Structure 1
Amino acid sequence: MELSLLARSESPPPPGRFNFKDQRNSMIVAGSLGLGMYVTAQPDVKDAVPVWMADLLGSSITIGALTAIVLDLVFHHWRAGPGVPPLDRAPEGPALT
């Protein structure tokens, strides 16, 4: 019974901890890991871009970090326009499974 009570607690994570219940955070992790693994699995990707960009896009660590930064800006910091409420917290309602 104790375990089920702990599993249902909806308290936010402590500061500095990652919140996997917010689907935007999960998308950031999945996107950055996915592109990082893609560059590792397909090393010829850097041949399809200009030479000055090949160093940036040829490294899985670099492309993963850049993807995480861009997706964080898109999901957490940029707004869609006037009249659109900010997403300061996870949307209410049941999570998609």
Structure 2
Amino acid sequence: MTTQTNSGSCCSSDGSCGSGAATAVQGDGVTTVYKVSGMTCGHCEDAVAQEISALDGVTAVKAVAETGEITVTSAAPLDEEAVRAAVDEAGYELVGRA
């Protein structure tokens, strides 16, 4: 079992990791794209998307490890510090808005 830490990646040093797809849900509202460092695989995408999805007002999240981008749709603009805390909780670093 891979242990995720705040060091940035859920993957092992040999590049192996958990599998899964990014969370994607259709919705209306405000869409913001953020850059996140440390995502390397589908498991990483899922971890970040799950934490951000738990924020109040979030209706959709799509994380793409290849680009390091997280697209978030919410009912109203989100507080960037709340997004930063969610990304940190998942074990990654929010770089800022893309």
TM over 0.5: no
Q: Which has the higher strand share?
A: 2
Q: Whose relative contact order is higher, 1 or 2, with alpha carbons under 8 Å and at least 6 apart?
A: 2
Q: Which has the higher helix share?
A: 1
TM-score (norm 2): 0.28
TM-score (norm 1): 0.29
